Structure 1
Amino acid sequence: MNQSLPQDVLDQIAREILHFDHAPAAFLEAWKRGIQIAGVEWFGDGTHEGMQQAKTKWELRPNVLRLNDALGVLSGGQRMFLSAMVSFYNASEGGAMLKRCQFEGLADLGGLDLERRKVIADLVLHYDGW
């Protein structure tokens, strides 16, 4: 007996395959937007040139030690946004940073402006692991 999947199921599978094929590049683009908002000094080699020339997320890892040291002097919005970004790189470190910011759940991201929310949303949508 020859049974095939319905066309709508095949279409959904094709869309998901296409999405995940493009996810790494889309994640890097969103990551770079986040870096531009947060400040290049916290990522990679800390320079605009380094950010612009980076071809992978690995070249733009957050400087977690430096960020942890500075967390107390940043504004609430900066702390929340940077901590959320760090959580994509390292869930444990980012989670600890978010806890220091009194982050209790995703609704707390509602305190971010639209531009930062869009970056976080795109990072979630295109995250394929670090």
Structure 2
Amino acid sequence: MTQPLPQDAVDQIIQEERHFADAPQAFFEAWKRGVRIAGSQWFGDGTPEGPNLARSKWDLCPDVQRIDKALGVLSSGERMFLAAMVSIYNERKGGAMLKRCGFRGLADFSGLDSQRREVIAQLVLHYCGW
């Protein structure tokens, strides 16, 4: 005889399904916030209008080569934030950038302001693949 699931388990399953159904749009919104904070010149077509015209995350892919070349002249916060965003887009290239920035673990994000930390947290929470 099959036992029904407890109501709290059913509620948890429904909540997870809603989260993952909403995740792509929530990720895209967080990504656009990150692009605006970091500077639209590093993403998509590089124009200020880019985040407003973007219809998907694909329209705002990071310019990985340009970011990589600029890491040496950016502030430590700018470097860390851009490298973290690249790592969400491409874990291998972004991971190498984070290593160049001296990143040793998640606690290193404590050097970022709350606005940037919030973006990273939302991107991780809603990540559903690139």
Query: Does the pair score TM above 0.5?
Result: yes
TM-score category of the 2 structures, normalised to the smaller one: over 0.9
Give the equivalent residue in structure 2 for 1:72.
72
Q: Which residue of 1 aligns with 2:21?
A: 21
- AA at the equivalent of 1:3: Q
Inter-partner Cα distance in structure 2 for 1:73 and 1:10:
52
- Superposed displacement of residue 3, structure 1: 1.9
Q: Which runs of 4+ in 1 moved over 2 A?
A: none
Residue 90 of structure 1 aligns with which residue? 90
1:11 matched residue in structure 2: 11
Offset, 1:55: 1.3
**Structure 1: segments with no counterpart, 5+ residues:** none
Query: Could you give the per-residue CA deviations for residues 10-68 of structure 1, whole angstroms, max 9, x where no partner exists?
Result: 00000000000000000010001011110000000011222111111111100000001
Task: Report deviation, 1:91.
Answer: 0.1
| Residue ranges of structure 2 left out of the alignment (5+ in a row) | none
Counterpart position of 1:61: 61
Read off the aligned partner of 2:60 and give its amino acid letter: L
Aligned to 1:35: 35
* Partner secondary structure for residue 79 of structure 1: helix
| Percent pairwise identity | 65
Q: Report the Cα distance in structure 1 between the residues aligned to 2:50 and 2:98, rounded to whole angstroms.
A: 27
Q: How far has the Cα of 1:90 moved from its partner?
A: 0.1
